[in-house]
Amino acid sequence: MRIDEMVLREDFYSINENTLNRYFKTVYGEAADIKTSGYNFKSHLVIYPRVGIIMTRTPSIKILRFLLKQYNIRNKMIKRTLAKLYVLCCCFSAGLLSEKGLEVCPKSIIGDSAAIIPANRKIRIYYFDEGYVDAVIKNGFTRKYFDNELSYRLKNSYAFIPKILDYGEDWYREKILSGQSLARITDERLYQKCVREAAGYMKIIAVGSLEYIDASEYAKKLYDDIKAKIKAAKSIKNISSCETVLEIAEKAVMKCILLNAMIPAVETHGDLQSGNVWVENESERTYIIDWETHQKRSIWYDCATIFLSTRRADMLKKMMDDREKDYVRESILFNDTRKDYNMLAVIAVITLEDIMFYLEDMLELPLDYGGKIFDSMAEEIDKMGWRYHE
């Protein structure tokens, strides 16, 4: 998520100031005075909302290389080239292309080889010379997802999960990985290889967490949870899709009965899309990052997300439309030893889990944040046609 998108969702600049002030006090024991300013030539740091970074006016070559990797977008060559040119222009503009400044006192706490990159619920402070990045939870945001990720990563030592180097109550430190997210990989061969590796990693986790649950009972429990969370969301969020979502969920539960079986439930990542798979430069080694939403779900959920790109527009509908095609069945059931399910019922389970994913995400954002995103998700799920399936 870029800074310009966060500005529309939240009081970003105030949150950023308060979070950074707390971070430097907590981690370094150094009282910092950090304030956002209008565009001027005196501020130590400058903010580029469309690039999504806060850095000095003369950033190091390490920051430039990092940003160019992040803007290696999977799209037409001309769009990729224009994105990289914009990054280059920002880095060499001495702040002229920035939109705001960030006054920092003392200035020594952020040098030319450091950069601040805000994310959805966290702010990351990269120290490129030292080779590590600190992640700190944003002020005003709930702790559930932060604690969920930190506890999971501290308890598990899988080689494909980056190690935590140090941590505190509301921050942690990890190594800066070379490379880029899978979402930035333009080599289709490498992209498909890494997708399969990521799904394979989740199978390793599944081996130690597998249990079989009754499909109908699981679907009904999901529906009850959805009803309860919709009720809570209506009281604090500005959303317009409540009735649509409940109708879709009810139809999906009815289809789950067609499974008439015990189904495999495992520990899942929850958001296993290409942005959360990291690919190292030379070794092509892959890691799975951002474990905020891990929990028990069907063994099919992560595979649908990574193989069928269900987080992208219209891909849920495509999964539904092509449910009888071999590629959909093979993708969703990649980690399941059984392959003879009713695919409409399987997709019904995935749909219920997806509704829960977005509901929980919205409810863990402060104030009225996330309502528009949830309504957009509801539109995507409605395209699948659940309200018209008999």
The mean pLDDT values, 10 residues at a time, for the chain of 390 residues are 87 95 92 84 88 94 90 72 89 91 90 94 96 96 95 96 96 95 91 96 96 96 97 93 96 92 96 95 91 98 98 96 97 96 97 97 89 93 87
Domains of the chain: 3-176 (no CATH), 182-388 (3.90.1200)
Q: What is the per-residue pLDDT for 83?
A: 84
Task: Tell me which residue of 175, 177, 174, 173 sits closest to 28, measured CA to CA.
Answer: 173
Q: Helix and strand tally (H, E) in the chain?
A: 13, 15
CA distances from 205 to 160, 265, 269, 321 (A): 11, 11, 10, 30
The amino acid present at 290, given as its one-letter code, is: D
> What SS3 string covers 285-328?
CEEECCCCCCEEEECCHHHHHHHHCCCCCCHHHHHHHCCCCHHH
Q: What is the per-residue pLDDT for 75?
A: 64
Q: If you search the block for the tokens 């300013």, which residue do you land on? A: 37
Q: What is the per-residue pLDDT for 360?
A: 96
CA dihedral 289, 292, 298, 304 (to 10 degrees): -50
Q: Going along 141-239, which residue ranges are E strands? A: 164-167, 171-175, 180-181, 211-214
CA dihedral 381, 382, 386, 388 (to 10 degrees): -170
Reduced to 3 states, what is the DSSP secondary structure of residue 74?
coil
Q: What is the per-residue pLDDT for 175?
A: 97
| Kind and range of the H or E run holding 385 | none
Q: What is the per-residue pLDDT for 30?
A: 79
For 208, counting Cβ atoms within 10 Å of its Cβ (0-12 exposed, 13-18 middle, 19+ buried), the class is: exposed
For 137, counting Cβ atoms within 10 Å of its Cβ (0-12 exposed, 13-18 middle, 19+ buried), the class is: buried
Q: What is the per-residue pLDDT for 260?
A: 85
Distance CA 323, CA 69 (A): 35
Q: Is the pTM of this model over 0.85?
A: yes
The amino acid present at 176, given as its one-letter code, is: I
Two tokens at 265? 């439930």
